[in-house]
């Protein structure tokens, strides 16, 4: 069993978003997999990017933000799931006064698999 308390993990600030790794591949005993929480602060956006190897599965708690995936705008609601597959160009946008927080499960994760469009 594993139990992770969200407030025991630090935020890692990036350009337009922050991430908090809950479980890495060692903790999961599953190479190339990762579980993390992401936050897009009020009035921020992540750069448009893609991954050549990894798949990202996003799980949402609210509808604060929206996504653009392969030039299609997507407005996930609470409890929706979005799967970003390799080579899907994507960004997330928060145009509200509230932080946009969601969970990401990364499959086939490698740290250098991040490419700007």
Whole-number pLDDT of residue 67: 98
Task: Give Cα 16 to chain centroid, integer Å.
Answer: 12
- Calpha distance 4→17 (Å, rounded): 21
Whole-number pLDDT of residue 93: 98
Interior/surface letters 78-95, b for 16+ CB within 10 angstroms, e for the rest: eeeebebeeebbbbbbbe
Asked whether the whole model's pTM tops 0.85, one would answer yes
What domains are there in the chain, each with its CATH number? 11-116 (2.60.120.10)
**pLDDT tens, per residue, the chain with 117 residues:** 989 998 999 999 998 899 999 999 999 999 999 999 999 999 999 999 999 999 999 999 999 999 999 999 999 999 999 999 999 999 999 999 999 999 999 999 998 999 998
Whole-number pLDDT of residue 69: 98
């Amino acid at each position: 069993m594993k139990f992770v308390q969200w407030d025991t993990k630090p935020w890692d600030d990036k350009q337009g978003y922050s991430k908090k790794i809950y479980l890495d591949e060692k903790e999961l005993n599953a190479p190339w997999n990762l579980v993390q929480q992401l936050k897009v602060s009020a009035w921020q956006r992540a750069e448009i990017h893609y991954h050549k190897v990894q798949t990202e599965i996003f799980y949402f708690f609210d509808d604060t933000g929206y996504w653009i995936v392969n030039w299609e705008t997507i407005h996930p609601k609470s409890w929706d799931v979005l799967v970003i597959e390799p080579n899907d160009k994507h960004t997330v946008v928060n145009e509200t006064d509230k932080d946009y927080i969601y969970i990401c499960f990364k499959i086939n994760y490698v740290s250098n698999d991040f490419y700007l469009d």
